[in-house]
Amino acid sequence: MTAASLPNDPPHDAATRLAAIRSAITRIASLSSRSAADVTLIAVSKTHGASEIAPLIAAGQRVFGENRVQEAQDKWPALREAVPEISLHLVGQLQSNKAADAVALFDVIHSLDRSSLLTALAKAMDKVGRQVPCFVQVNIGAETQKGGCPIGEVPSLLEQARMIEVPISGLMCVPPADVEAAPYFALLAKMAREEGLTGLSMGMSGDYETAIMLGATHVRVGTALFGDRPKA
């Protein structure tokens, strides 16, 4: 059984699920002639409350991801007060009017995808004197319903970021659902190499092993750690 197919265990089994995923990361990294230390596991805790997050923190997980600024504001200040070394990543879409809140709360932003957001983030960073590393999210499947910078506009957005000194860690993508993800991960890796970037935020619960094989430096895993998200 792979880490991605683990059952929805109760919270006290968080350590078991986390250990299984870490083991899978180590194994796949080794097969790829890489070190597990080169892959950051982001535990995506969107829609999950503090009581579900706490067991993972107790098991040693320190990097978490959230999709919404407001949700993160509601639950993370208290958790981070107790464990200050936690690193919080924004992995969902970001509205420009929430840029200041995102810069204040998150340590890394994975969803920079347009010039207007870049400008808003730069202003927010300058105002508080805090540089927050960003990944440029690429609409790797050219899907009209998804966010992300169109592939052809990525070089221009990266150049704008360099000009206004917004730190860029790499590229991020969410491949189309229900198709083989490998070609999309390979394309993102190629784009990153061409731009001289080393960071690759790609791979989720169902495909993070493939992503690591193709160079992922950050994998965003939610369901395999927390189980299915609550129904809306």
pLDDT tens, 32-46? Answer: 999 999 999 999 999
* 147 assigned to some structural domain: yes
For residue 167, which of 219, 127, 121, 201 has the smallest C-alpha distance? 121
* 90 assigned to some structural domain: yes
* pLDDT for the residue numbered 11: 47
- How far lies 108's CA from each of 102, 103, 105, in Å? 9, 9, 9
* pLDDT for the residue numbered 12: 52
* pLDDT for the residue numbered 146: 86
- How far lies 157's CA from each of 102, 138, 154, 199, in Å? 19, 11, 5, 16
* 232 assigned to some structural domain: no
pLDDT < 50 regions, the chain:
1-9, 11
φ and ψ at residue 165, rounded to 5 degrees = 60, 40
Number of domains in the chain: 1
* 231 assigned to some structural domain: no
Query: What Rg, from alpha-carbon coordinates, does the chain have?
Result: 17
* 194 assigned to some structural domain: yes
Which DSSP string corresponds to 168-217? EEEEEE-PPTTS--HHHHHHHHHHHHHTT--EEE---TTTHHHHHHTT-S
Domain range for 61 is: 3-226
* 190 assigned to some structural domain: yes
The runs of H, that is alpha helices, within 32-181 are 50-58, 69-82, 99-105, 115-128, 154-163
Residue 219 and residue 40 in contact, taking contact as beta carbons nearer than 8 Å: yes
For residue 173, which of 196, 199, 209 has the smallest C-alpha distance? 199
Give the CA angle between residues 83, 84, 86 to the nearest 5°.
80
* pLDDT for the residue numbered 4: 39
CATH number at residue 168: 3.20.20.10
Residue 124 and residue 106 in contact, taking contact as beta carbons nearer than 8 Å: no
CB neighbours of residue 39 within 10 Å: 23
CB neighbours of residue 82 within 10 Å: 10
Which DSSP string corresponds to 10-51? -GGGHHHHHHHHHHHHHHHHHHTT--GGG-EEEEE-TT--HH
